[in-house]
Amino acid sequence: MRHQGTSQTGVHAAVGRNAGCLTNRVAGAGCACTSTGAAAVQRTTGGARTVSGFALIDGELCAERVPLSAIADEFGTPCYVYSRAAIEQNYREYDTALAAVPHLVCYALKANSNLAVLDLLARLGSGFDIVSGGELARVIAAGGDARKAVFSGVGKTAAEMEAALEAGILCFNVESAAELEALDATAGQMGRRAPVSFRVNPDVDPQTHPYISTGLRESKFGVPIGDAPTLYRRAARLPHIAVRGIDIHIGSQITTLAPYREAIVKVIALVDQLAAEGIALAHVDLGGGLGIRYRDEATVELADYAAMITPLFSGRREQLLIEPGRRLVGAAGILLTRVIYLKPGPQRNFAIVDAAMNDLIRPALYDAWHPVDPVRPRHSPSREWQIVGPICESGDFLAHDRALSLEQGDLLAVGAAGAYGFVMSSNYNTRPRACEVLVDGDRAHAVRKRESVTMLFAGESLLP
Ligand code: LLP
């Protein structure tokens, strides 16, 4: 079932339409909302519930209670817009679903590392999955608890290890024998012991895009599960290493439970084998990867994910860690863009918008499908449009073949852009990166300023 009032998927009519409209704090936003402003909930046959926070209210798309046109007027376009209520609700849903077992949600901030997003998750008690010294610095700058951070990634440098040891992180997810030795040496120089998990590669196929599959034997990630006992024995003997847990992350945008089950069963067998040898682990980290609905994917319900996991963990001594990224923030963000020109042609019609592949690279990189909705849907007949940006590459597209009724100057919302959107943006073609706005009820907060062109070459210099 598609929700009422939208021409496409991705943004959805709000749940309930009976609460009065509160003052809108965005300049010029004449709010005519009659919605509760609660995060919009999407549920379609065979698909998981995801909370987006975007809804059509009285003929205009709103982020919670703020009309997107008001955000465009105030902050300009292109602009990423996130819903606080949606992110919080998605986090709570995880926390509640896993309530039966001791657990820690470690938000994978590579999905969206804006400080405001980290701040609101930190306030809810979230831990963090970091993959660089930069991400650690973000967690600390946002007031997050570094003692709830796990550090993943195949190429941690000595400097990054030092910073993480200094911050007292929960665990290093070690991905190779060489990294283990380097970590032992770095911790030794600092007079510390480094808490470690091995990221094991369970050799399962997550049935997702090859670029985001990570748990196959041929992948660069993790250590082969068969090598893990030897590595754990080595780690247990190293003076500056404290064996703490085990970790997997099999891929991203996973839409079925079977690969998770297969991987978890293998990992738990290994945990028991290690315990029998006297190497007791304190936690099992199942990584992230649960997919969201971009188009019509039959995604996994969190309740089903939890129902699969909790029996495997009940009565066990290890704490459960998970590292969701996309599922917490993906649906909770849109990329707001304006049509610069319409260019109908003999073969194809192009709608040239002010956002491009440098702002949202997922369509170009993964052939990803994102919903595109007009902010003020028109009732005139639609045409098929190619939604493209101004960049000088044919791969610069946001969407192909969308039936829309468009006019020059119209605003469009590219949906499900809250994860791997802004964070993967670049300055290609010397395009300043977009601003980011976080909406909280009837308020829109600028949480990242738009870059200026001079900022882009501020670090460059002419020859002497
Ligand atoms: N943990 C680790 C170790 C990871 O490498 C990742 C994502 C996650 C957790 C979070 O995965 P999630 O729950 O978000 O699926 N740029 C791609 C996605 C790359 C994912 C990389 N690793 C995209 O736009 O689809």
- pTM of the prediction? 0.91
Handedness of CA 319, 91, 436, 419 (dihedral sign): positive
Please state the atom number of ligand 1 nearest to the C-alpha of residue 330: 14
Residue 48 CA to its chain's centroid (Å): 17
What's the pLDDT band for 189 if we cut at 50, 70, 90?
very high
Instruction: State whether the beta carbon of 288 lies less than 6 angstroms from ligand 1.
Output: yes
The answer to whether 428 and 370 are in contact (CB under 8 A) is no
- Residue 351: Cβ within 10 Å count: 26
62 is catalytic: no
pLDDT given for residue 203 in this prediction? 87
Under a CB-based contact definition with an 8 Å cutoff, are residues 86 and 332 in contact?
Answer: yes
Q: Whole-angstrom distance between the N-terminal and C-terminal Cα of the chain?
A: 65
Q: What is the pLDDT of residues 405-449, one digit of tens each?
A: 999 999 999 999 999 999 999 999 999 999 999 999 999 999 999
- Kindly list the distances between the CA atom of residue 162 and the CA atoms of 10, 158, 183, 190, 232, in Å, as whole numbers in the listed order: 42, 6, 9, 8, 22
- The answer to whether the CB of 190 falls within 8 A of the CB of 168 is no
CB 196 within 8 A of CB 156: no
pLDDT at 22 over 90: no
Element (H, E) at 74: helix 68-75
Give the angle subtended at the CA of 393 by the CAs of 388 and 399, to the nearest 5°.
Answer: 25
Which atom of ligand 1 is closest in space to residue 111's alpha carbon?
Answer: 14
For residue 195, report the distance from its CA to the centre of ligand 1, in Å. 23
CA 109 to centroid of ligand 1, rounded, Å? 9
Whole-number Cα distances in Å, 364 to 374, 402, 425 = 21, 16, 12
Alpha-helical segments (H) within 210-348: 228-237, 258-276, 302-313, 326-329
Query: Quick check: CB of 251 below 6 Å from ligand 1?
Result: no
User: What's the CA gap between 192 and 170, in Å, rounded?
Assistant: 13
Amino acid code (one letter) for 398: L
Measured CA distances, 289 to 13, 326, 437, 448 (Å):
27, 7, 25, 27
Q: Is 206 in the pocket of ligand 1 (CB under 6 A)?
A: no
pLDDT in tens, 239-292: 999 999 999 999 999 999 999 999 999 999 999 999 999 999 999 999 999 999
Q: Which of 21, 171, 392, 435 is catalytic?
A: 392
Is the CB of 425 within 6 Å of ligand 1?
A: no
CA-based angle 159:163:164, to the nearest 5?
115
Residue nearest to atom 9 of ligand 1 (CA): 288
List the domains of the chain with CATH numbers: 41-84+330-455 (2.40.37.10), 87-329 (3.20.20.10)
Instruction: Using the mean position of ligand 1's atoms as its centre, give its distance from the Cα of residue 456 in Å.
Output: 27
Ligand 1 centroid to residue 236 C-alpha, Å: 29
Contact assessment for residue 462 and residue 92, using Cβ atoms and an 8 Å cutoff: no
Ligand 1: which of 91, 94, 110 to mutate, most ligand atoms within 8 Å of CB?
Answer: 110
In tens, the pLDDT along 93-106 reads: 999 999 999 999 99
